[in-house]
């Protein structure tokens, strides 16, 4: 088996064990690379269960996940008292321990000089915020305002229409020129005009009277 294939197999086994631990809510899951420390296995996994019942359930879950992945059936040790259950999966060994036992034996100090970074737990979905529906009255008011706002915006943008001057028709259809009528003279103006006319007539008759008087005087002297 090539090195790449062997690496894929160990990663597949490691993932199956972690999935089994997470399925029953195991606490403080740790994974360590031990290939440089022992030729018997390449991974050591340590997790905690809060009670005998939970440690047994965790061990059974790991066994089922490994078998479901198409790998060899693991061997379990320590199920009787369930304080420390060892799950031997061949290339990886998982230790499910109660907190007091784990703290006493401190397996992390023996195998933990090369921890493996592993994504523990599925990513939590982002909360979806549902907007609160507005009251029906507010919706109607907003809908009623919208056309008025649009009309006001269009009126503000659109320039005012300029009045179009009508061209006067030319040619045959042209209207005849209208001569403005003079205002009728008032009574006072009429009197002044009559007086001026009379004065002109009197002035015109005056030379004729002088001539007649001269002729009469000349006759008397002869």
Q: Which domains can be identified in the chain, with CATH numbers?
A: 3-111 (3.30.460.10)
What confidence score (pLDDT) does residue 125 get?
Answer: 47
Q: At 116, list the tokens.
A: 């493996």
pTM (2 d.p.): 0.54
Give the CA distances from residue 195 to residues 82, 188, 202, 215, in Å, rounded to whole numbers and listed in that order. 150, 11, 11, 31
**CA-based Rg of the chain, rounded to a whole angstrom?**
62
What confidence score (pLDDT) does residue 17 get?
Answer: 96
Contact (Cβ atoms closer than 8 angstroms) between residue 198 and residue 191: no
- The series of mean pLDDT values per 10 residues for the chain, 222 residues long, is 83 95 95 92 95 96 95 94 95 96 95 81 53 59 62 62 58 56 60 64 63 66 59
- Tokens 């597949």: give the residue: 12
Bridge-partner residues for 43, per DSSP? 33, 92
**Alpha-carbon dihedral sign for residues 176, 182, 183, 185:** negative
Q: At 28, list the tokens.
A: 């403080």
How far apart are the C-alpha atoms of 68 and 84, rounded to whole Å? Answer: 24
Q: What is the pLDDT of residues 176-195, one digit of tens each?
A: 555 555 655 566 666 666 66
What confidence score (pLDDT) does residue 26 get?
Answer: 96
What confidence score (pLDDT) does residue 179 get?
Answer: 58
Contact (Cβ atoms closer than 8 angstroms) between residue 32 and residue 92: no
What confidence score (pLDDT) does residue 3 get?
Answer: 77
How far apart are the C-alpha atoms of 214 and 1, rounded to whole Å? Answer: 171
């Amino acid at each position: 088996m090539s090195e790449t294939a062997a690496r894929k197999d160990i990663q597949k086994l490691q993932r199956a064990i972690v999935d089994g631990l997470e399925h029953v809510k195991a606490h403080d899951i740790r994974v360590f690379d031990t290939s440089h420390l022992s030729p018997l296995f390449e991974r050591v996994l340590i997790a905690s269960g809060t009670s005998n019942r939970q440690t047994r359930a965790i061990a059974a879950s790991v066994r089922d996940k490994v078998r479901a992945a198409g790998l060899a059936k693991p061997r379990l040790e320590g199920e009787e008292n369930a304080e420390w259950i060892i799950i031997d999966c061949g290339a990886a060994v998982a230790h499910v321990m109660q907190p007091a036992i784990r703290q006493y034996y401190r397996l992390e100090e023996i195998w933990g000089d090369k921890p493996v970074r592993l994504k523990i737990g599925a990513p939590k979905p982002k909360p979806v915020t549902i907007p609160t529906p507005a009251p029906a009255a507010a919706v109607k008011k907003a809908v009623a305002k919208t056309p008025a706002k649009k009309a006001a915006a269009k009126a503000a943008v659109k320039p005012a229409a300029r009045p179009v001057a009508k061209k006067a028709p030319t040619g045959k259809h042209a209207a005849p020129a209208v001569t403005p009528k003079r205002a009728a003279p008032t009574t006072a103006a009429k009197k002044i005009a009559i007086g001026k006319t009379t004065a002109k007539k009197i002035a015109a008759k005056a030379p004729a009277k002088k001539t007649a008087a001269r002729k009469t005087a000349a006759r008397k002297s002869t």
